[in-house]
Structure 1
Amino acid sequence: MKESQGVQTPKVGMISLGCAKNLVDAEVMLGGAAVAGFEITADADEADVIVVNTCGFIDSAKQESIDAILSAKRRPEQKLVVSGCLSQRYRDELVRELPEVDAFIGLDQIATAGEIFRDVLSKETEAPFALISPKSKYIPDYDTPRFRLTPTHTTYLKIAEGCNHPCSFCVIPQMRGRHRSRTVESVVAEARRLVSEGIREINLISQDTTYYGMDLWQEKAGPRQPVDPLRGPTLIRLLDELGQIEGDFWIRLLYTHPAHWSDDLIQAIARNPKVARYIDMPLQHIHGDMLNLMRRETSREHIENLIDRLRAGIPNLAIRTTFIVGFPGETEAHFASLLEFIEKVRFERLGVFCYSQEEGSRAAKMENQVLTRTKNRRHREAMKLQQRIAAEWAEAQKGRTFRVLADQARLGRTEYDAPDVDCRVVLTKSVPVGSFVDVKVTGSQVYDLVAKPL
């Protein structure tokens, strides 16, 4: 503990795993800790309380979380707290199997984390305790304290929590609860403050960003409901109001669902110069059999029509998507149709995941589970195809000019690239970090561009 005029200030450190939504949870916990009088430290060795904010989405993430928990403590007297999706999902098992943990907290306890950390420091029993609500209902507000863990020029803004979709491969609704949106006023107030603090990129996140506001309608919205600005608060209204905030910054849409897109939403993006021409829309598969088994609530015809409308309605658009290979029952013919679709559409950004048999999901109980070696082979084939497409796209950008946000002195991103998951622009000379700069593309490195600042 740090001593200041005879008073010891406890320190808390954080290991946050998983997605950007989990990262915001970590920032809220640290914000609450700071309000409760803790000093935030990046040095795990000096922390009095070390927090592991876990991910419990797929097997590899769960294993990473367990490994992080087992290796987190640096000193015997340190207190160890486990939070996040794994803690929420496996409370009883973790309490039983990990006695070295001092406390487990759930997703609804992140706002009171500072008080919990104080209790952990004062507790004298060796047995771990768990504070976990069975059904998550929490959502942050504009005045919720946050200790940002991202670079000073970019951040994530959580506009909703939970999910109403019944995807058979997913257990997120079981962990994070039903979809619940913040008010437009709350999101805009937080965004305005972030811009005033120097943020140049606001990444809007939730489990299903396109469903934003629909849970607040007087008349209940169904899972396939298109965005309709006449029925209540929507993403359209939110984008319009965010676009009125003064300042030079990007707004980026992450995690949209193909079931909810409407022409009104497409037009809202097209008319707003602050919204990046970038759509993140996980499709998961394209064959009708797979979409039905996955319970994706869409069809190939719907998806192809939507992509055509997006590209026609939003000039210079880049679409990012993800697909799952090796889902139960996927045949070589199903996989071939996916490859054909990838070749035809030529997504600007694309990721592929091997199906993970998640305990508690509908798909885990399905027959015709695909062999691991088959999943891995299909993953390699799909990514090899996308690597060629991405390299051809990058090569075609030679000679074009782009506006780039500098993450490092000689490394930046275009509006087509989200933090941590997409391509980069390698700059031929240094520019100020956190600034926007116009560049001319002079070459490419498979996925990445090489560009000269103008």
Structure 2
Amino acid sequence: MNELASNPAPAVGLVSLGCAKNLVDAEIMLGALLGAGMSITNDPARADVLIINTCSFIDAAQEESVDTILEYAAQRDRLRPAQGLIVSGCLPQRHREELPRLLPEVDVFMGVDQVAQVAELVQQALRHRAAQLATTPRRANRQQLLARLAELGAGEPAEARAEIRQPAEDRHGRRPPTRVTLAPPPPAVQVHLRPRYIPDYATPRFRLTPRHFAYVKIAEGCNHPCSFCIIPRLRGSYRSRPLEDVVQEARQLVAEGCRELNLISQDTTYYGRDWRRAATAAAAETPDLCALLRALNALEGDFWIRLLYTHPAHWTEELIQTIADCPKVARYADMPLQHIHEVMLERMRRETSRAYIEDLLARIRAGIPGIALRTTFIVGFPGETEARFAALVDFVRKVRFERLGVFAYSREAGTRAAQMRGQVPAAERQRRRELLMAAQHEVAREVAAGFVGRTLRVLVEGEATARQLQAARVDSWEHGLLREADAGARRLRGRYAVARGEADAPDIDGRVYIRGGPLPPGEFATVRIVGHTDYDLMAELEGGNARHESAQ
């Protein structure tokens, strides 16, 4: 306890896994810690308390979260035994009852509602760790832990989870003597069954993104009934932030030099609809996404507004017209469709049909010329026959999405889909993913070739590193930097700047590599496209100088 007493303002480290929505939660936690007078360290080995912000959306994310927790717990044992360990986010939200037994290394489990109260939990973690060191600590077994998490939610009786084994008797009928040890104290659990928290402008926040772009969470939770998804269980019902509160945050970000506002929630197109469901006479007056986009577009400054995580069921003619009317809204829309076959859409409970989707995509492209459409699909979903998969492949080739990702179906315990007949073997799911990405690969090269000769406005990220330039043959078909189909293709040489166009969201889409430089990071520039790889573009400085557009 002496170390705790001599360190009233502990240093805290944080590792955040998962999506941009999780990243915003991490930024809020860091803001709360700094507001409480605590310091932040980028070196986990130097932290008095380490927070691991987890993802549990699919099995692969859950496994990554578990491995990260065990890795840092082992590092603590070697380097800093008194370090407190907190696990936050979706994993404890999903398994709040089981995790304290399965992960005895953890001092505090916290849910998504507690992000603003994290400073109190840091002190609690230090106290728990100090008490735990005076006992015989237990260790988690990775294989047993992952197997148990995979079983949870499948309707197993509670009695089976708490089996108690008595010591065996010897051949004389005697039990072995009881060894007296101090049992470690149970970890603290601060997780609400049904989250309700939503941040506001007054919530302290320490941004983890570069200065020139930010994620703006406009809502939390989800009301959709998708049969493959557990997000409503993890994040609660949909709840929108007040429009003026979002605008106030955006205004401050732009004043700080932000040039791209990425609007995020579980479904940005649902924004404001939760108020309409609760309202009566005033329902027509409640703001929606169109009102929010117009309010953000009216802010002074030179910046992009990017729309992420939209649901096809909630696109309207008004939304299409609003994007077309607002020059600051990037000509880009992220709209996960998940499938196109009627039977699969029904089994997934996507609230759409093939005819509706095809009509919507045609109306969006007609109403917003030059828009880049990003989507994702799930292959190998229960009931997906070869014919239904073939229909999806044909659809991708026909529609020619500018950006596309594919997920092999993940069978999640506790979802409707997990209980469905017609489960597709894992190897076949992966095979179908590769086939669909191969079809998109052909489309993507043709889309990239269509940019050659055009002049683009781009947002400069900075100078390309040697490692980035050496990645010119990265074969990831969803992410990465430069990709070359020809194994013998030349690598980029010389000095390049890395930038993104309107068609490229941070982290998930392609890049524009500009020969020459340097160009100021975090500012706009106009360049000419002179070449392409599978998913990325190469540009050059016109007349030896790119037209640099400083924000006014």
User: By the TM > 0.5 criterion, same fold?
Assistant: yes
User: Could you say which residue in structure 1 is the equivalent of 2:54?
Assistant: 54
Q: Is 2:437 aligned against 1:383?
A: yes
User: Could you say which residue in structure 1 is the equivalent of 2:389?
Assistant: 335
1:30–1:114 contact (8 Å) kept in structure 2: no
For normalisation by structure 1, the TM-score amounts to: 0.95
User: Could you say which residue in structure 1 is the equivalent of 2:356?
Assistant: 302
CA distance in 1, matches of 2:534, 2:421: 39
Given the alignment, which residue of 442, 445, 450 partners 2:533?
445
The 5-angstrom pairing of residues 400-419 of structure 1 reads: 400-409=454-463, 410-419=497-506
CA distance in 1, matches of 2:105, 2:321: 54
Deviations 1:286-330 (A, max 9, x none): 000000000000000000000001001011100000000000010
CA distance in 2, matches of 1:7, 1:301: 63
Q: Secondary structure at the match of 1:411?
A: strand
State the Cα distance separating 1:381 from its structure 2 match.
0.6
Q: Tell which deviates more after alignment, 117-126 or 10-19.
A: 117-126
Q: Is 2:512 aligned against 1:425?
A: yes
User: Could you say which residue in structure 2 is the equivalent of 1:210?
Assistant: 269
State the Cα distance separating 1:407 from its structure 2 match.
1.4
Amino acid of the structure 2 residue aligned with 1:282: P
Amino acid of the structure 1 residue aligned with 2:325: R
* C-alpha RMSD of the superposition: 1.6
Q: Is 2:144 aligned against 1:125?
A: no
CA distance in 2, matches of 1:7, 1:102: 18
State the Cα distance separating 1:220 from its structure 2 match.
6.2
User: Could you say which residue in structure 1 is the equivalent of 2:96?
Assistant: 91
User: Could you say which residue in structure 2 is the equivalent of 1:137?
Assistant: 196
User: Could you say which residue in structure 1 is the equivalent of 2:244?
Assistant: 185
State the Cα distance separating 1:9 from its structure 2 match.
3.5
Larger strand proportion of the pair:
1
State the Cα distance separating 1:392 from its structure 2 match.
0.8
Q: Tell which deviates more after alignment, 211-220 or 358-367.
A: 211-220
Q: Secondary structure at the match of 1:402?
A: strand
Deviations 1:142-163 (A, max 9, x none): 1111111111111100000000
State the Cα distance separating 1:7 from its structure 2 match.
7.1
| Structure 2: runs of 5+ lacking an equivalent | 133-185, 464-496, 547-552
CA distance in 2, matches of 1:256, 1:155: 18
CA distance in 2, matches of 1:166, 1:8: 46
User: Could you say which residue in structure 2 is the equivalent of 1:224?
Assistant: none
User: Could you say which residue in structure 2 is the equivalent of 1:373?
Assistant: 427
Amino acid of the structure 1 residue aligned with 2:525: V
CA distance in 2, matches of 1:289, 1:7: 60
Q: Secondary structure at the match of 1:270?
A: helix
User: Could you say which residue in structure 1 is the equivalent of 2:69?
Assistant: 69
Q: Runs ≥4 in structure 1, deviation > 4 angstroms?
A: 218-221
Amino acid of the structure 2 residue aligned with 1:89: R
Amino acid of the structure 1 residue aligned with 2:331: R
Amino acid of the structure 2 residue aligned with 1:450: M
User: Could you say which residue in structure 2 is the equivalent of 1:197?
Assistant: 256
State the Cα distance separating 1:218 from its structure 2 match.
5.8
User: Could you say which residue in structure 1 is the equivalent of 2:147?
Assistant: none
Deviations 1:240-283 (A, max 9, x none): 11011111111000000000111011111100011000000000
CA distance in 1, matches of 2:525, 2:40: 33
CA distance in 2, matches of 1:54, 1:302: 36
2:108–2:124 contact (8 Å) kept in structure 1: no
Amino acid of the structure 1 residue aligned with 2:336: P
Deviations 1:315-374 (A, max 9, x none): 110000000000001000000000110011000000000000001000000011001111
| Structure 1: runs of 5+ lacking an equivalent | 222-228
CA distance in 1, matches of 2:385, 2:277: 43
1:59–1:358 contact (8 Å) kept in structure 2: yes
1:36–1:115 contact (8 Å) kept in structure 2: no
CA distance in 1, matches of 2:61, 2:20: 14
Deviations 1:59-79 (A, max 9, x none): 000000000000124321111
Which protein shows a greater Rg? Answer: 2
Q: Secondary structure at the match of 1:359?
A: coil
Number of aligned positions between the proteins: 444
Given the alignment, which residue of 320, 324, 347 partners 1:266?
320
CA distance in 2, matches of 1:220, 1:391: 48
